[in-house]
Chain A
């Protein structure tokens, strides 16, 4: 099992690419990758999950923590390319109501 995470800057958007399976074993790698992102006021971040085949609850936790930090520091984050299965996971957990997920409607943290 392996996963990769890397970022590219592109027209004022910081694009992240995550690949592989995200579970308790690979989650620390994802956390380190996302923690290394320096968030500045108004920064737009897009994380592409097209090549993510599986996310478990630990992985969700990493995205939630990242989302909360980006919000706190005044940036925006969007997750794109979610497979049906992963989208379903975000729906069940209620996170798709909170986070900006592949164009779905977003509710702001109060």
Chain B
């Protein structure tokens, strides 16, 4: 510090003697040295104060308090600045993580909507932000068409990795894809071993088996799906008990089944669709069912898109969560 004091004293007195470009330039270069040595803003003011004291000893008396005040100001300025910079850095790091997660989703987690002679399927899954916390994966073989609709709690890279665990878990279970209880209990063990305590997944797994003309389903802590019965023109809840994936290693799940007739629909949603967050007095599922009812004659993909548009408008284009709906319609 003493060395810096001497140096600054010289630079300042040179400039006071002759205010030329060269002397100014020396001062500017000195700033670089200060930054290299990590000198705080208040110490720079203090350097200046001491130099002024030596150069103008008679005039400093009245100014001393003013300088001390400025030093105090700069102490707080420096703290606020450092805090601000560290926040910016943290934000940049988070952004990088989010981009990685979004990339993982774009590249690794793609799924294709199956085409089948028996059922027609549509889907909309839209993230609230860059990264989608909802995840849909379809699997099929010649015996069935299966769909897993999940909501992962947790954000960023861990959530995206969790989804890829679910995807590859499902892919290795193609042979059991027509038994929801087995799919859910195997995935539960995979997830339970791999994620931290506050992270978990809710999943609705359902599969249509043409030979039996039945839709089999099970739920791990997921919002009930809707069943639309065309003949009765009525909506039902497909309730299924089961705890969230990733909480109890030995959790067991139950198989449920319904027969599907022509134009019946199964509508699987995440809570971003049914959660209105406006108090207790709104029958949220009723609103969703009535919107679907308005367009039940359309193709599943169009129904999904209509539901998204209408709910977006209902929430004044301010949806609060990731939004996923899958519609399976019996041909």
Which size bracket describes the interface of B in this complex? 20 to 34
User: How distant is the Cα of A84 from the Cα of B200 in the complex, in angstroms?
Assistant: 23
29 CB contacts below 8 A, A to B, read A24-B155, A31-B198, A56-B321, A57-B271, A58-B153, A60-B153, A61-B198, A61-B200, A64-B197, A64-B198, A64-B244, A64-B247, A65-B197, A65-B198, A68-B197, A69-B197, A84-B280, A92-B223, A92-B224, A93-B244, A94-B221, A94-B241, A94-B247, A95-B221, A95-B243, A95-B247, A98-B248, A110-B248, A110-B250
Chain A residues positioned under 8 Å from B321 (CB to CB): 56
User: How distant is the Cα of A69 from the Cα of B197 in the complex, in angstroms?
Assistant: 8
Interface residue? B151 (CB, 8 A): yes
User: How distant is the Cα of A62 from the Cα of B198 in the complex, in angstroms?
Assistant: 5
Q: How far is the CB of A105 from chain B (nearest CB, A)?
A: 14
Contact B280 A97 (CB under 8 A): no
Chain A residues positioned under 8 Å from B224 (CB to CB): 92
Contact with A along B133-151 (1 / 0, CB 8 A): 0000000000000000001
User: How distant is the Cα of A15 from the Cα of B10 in the complex, in angstroms?
Assistant: 66
Interface residue? B277 (CB, 8 A): yes
Chain B residues positioned under 8 Å from A56 (CB to CB): 271, 275, 321
Contact B247 A98 (CB under 8 A): yes
Contact A85 B280 (CB under 8 A): yes
User: How distant is the Cα of A22 from the Cα of B224 in the complex, in angstroms?
Assistant: 23
User: How distant is the Cα of A84 from the Cα of B281 in the complex, in angstroms?
Assistant: 11
User: How distant is the Cα of A96 from the Cα of B251 in the complex, in angstroms?
Assistant: 14
Interface residue? B122 (CB, 8 A): no
Q: How far is the CB of B218 from chain A (nearest CB, A)?
A: 12
In residues 59-103 of chain B, which contact A (Cβ within 8 Å)?
A: none
Which DSSP category, helix, strand, loop or mixed, fits chain B's interface? loop
Chain A residues positioned under 8 Å from B243 (CB to CB): 93-95, 97-98
Which DSSP category, helix, strand, loop or mixed, fits chain A's interface? helix
Given A65-B198, A92-B224, 17 additional A-B pairs, CB 8 A? A24-B155, A57-B151, A57-B153, A57-B202, A61-B154, A61-B200, A62-B198, A64-B244, A65-B197, A83-B280, A84-B280, A92-B221, A94-B241, A94-B251, A95-B221, A95-B247, A110-B249
Give the A interface residue count (CB, 8 A). 24
Residues of A within 8 A of B (CB): 24, 31, 54, 56-58, 60-62, 64-65, 68-69, 83-85, 92-95, 97-98, 109-110
Interface residue? B183 (CB, 8 A): no
User: How distant is the Cα of A98 from the Cα of B247 in the complex, in angstroms?
Assistant: 9
Contact with A along B238-271 (1 / 0, CB 8 A): 0001111001111100000000000000000001
Contact with A along B258-300 (1 / 0, CB 8 A): 0000000000000100010100100000000000000000000
Q: How far is the CB of A34 from chain B (nearest CB, A)?
A: 10
Interface residue? B220 (CB, 8 A): yes
Q: How far is the CB of B197 from chain A (nearest CB, A)?
A: 4
Interface residue? B199 (CB, 8 A): yes
Q: How far is the CB of B278 from chain A (nearest CB, A)?
A: 10
Which 3 residue pairs across A and B have the least CB separation, nearest first?
A94-B243, A65-B198, A93-B221
Please name the residue on chain A nearest to B280 by beta carbon: A85
Q: How far is the CB of A76 from chain B (nearest CB, A)?
A: 17
Interface residue? B196 (CB, 8 A): yes
Count chain B CB atoms within 10 A of each CB in A24, A85, A94, A98 and give the residue with the most: A94
Chain B residues positioned under 8 Å from A60 (CB to CB): 153
Chain A residues positioned under 8 Å from B251 (CB to CB): 94
Interface residue? B222 (CB, 8 A): yes
A64, A94, A97: the one within 8 Å of B220 (CB): A94
Count chain A CB atoms within 10 A of each CB in B154, B198, B221, B271 and give the residue with the most: B198
